[in-house]
Structure 1
């Protein structure tokens, strides 16, 4: 029995690494041992995790690609996206999934 909807929030790894390196890796259990060049080490670890998990991510019912949203809005960087723009896309993707399923 299906009890929920899974959503893959597809964020470019470079953008994630920049964000994590900017705030520090201490609050990220899988990354908190990283030091030296935090961005490069974080990007390397995120890439490794992504490789391990990509098949599971691909099983999500809906995929929200921040790059697609940014392109659609004419933005060059996903970090410029508002939470509202991301939420609207998520709702549209979920609605599309529900239409296919029902």
Structure 2
């Protein structure tokens, strides 16, 4: 079986810190462009909330400002019927 998510998009917000079950975690928003445009020719995008555990939040806060192009590799978790994206690795993508 495989549970893997890969998103490439623009960092829309810096981490917001929380604590859950005594463990620190953060959330960021990532805007990901769709492969098609609307009838007016405008690009379409989705904004996903990505959950960061352990040191990933610190890495993003220290290295990447809002507007950075990032690749997020992670997994989906279903908790009480709510699907969440859990980041496992985050990489900066240099725009060309």
TM over 0.5, shorter chain = no
Considering fraction of residues, name the structure with more helix: 1
Q: TM-score, normalised by structure 2?
A: 0.22
